[in-house]
Amino acid sequence: MTYPEALARVVGMLTVAHEARRDPDRSAEELGALYGTLLADLGTFEGQDFSLSFSTGDPPEVIQATVQRATHDALERVITTAREELARIAAAFVYAFNELAAEYEAACPDADVPGLLRRLGIESAGDAD
């Protein structure tokens, strides 16, 4: 997923979350589906070759070592790709939030975004207990 694709999905999720907040009858299913799509992209690793090669005549230890090496290499590629995807998603959320906060502060001179963030931080700390 590219950064513009991640940003489009993040904006979609934020839009649905906002609409659901304004319309209590609206189901959260759409937001859940969008989130699921975002997460599903973490499992898309097109173009990566996870092949391994061994002979059926090889001793079990050789086959096991070959499979372990191929699994290790494949997991390293998957982890690297997932890390890159998560970084794009996080960057998109930060960008979208900063744009929203800037518009809010411009429209409402007495807006207290830092206060809102502190309150949310305190609430989240209370939820962790």
Q: What's the pLDDT at 103? A: 93
What does pLDDT average to over the chain? Answer: 81
What percentage of the chain has pLDDT greater than the value 70? 84
Over residues 99-119, the pLDDT tens digits come to: 999 999 999 999 999 898 888
Q: How far is CA 38 from CA 4, 9, 89, in A?
A: 13, 7, 8
Run of H or E residues at 74: helix 60-107
Instruction: Give residue-wise pLDDT tens across range 44-83.
Output: 655 556 666 767 788 889 888 888 888 888 888 888 888 8
| Rounded-to-integer distance, Cα 102 and Cα 27, Å | 29
Q: Where exactly are the structural domains of the chain?
A: 3-127
Whether residue 34 has pLDDT greater than 90: no
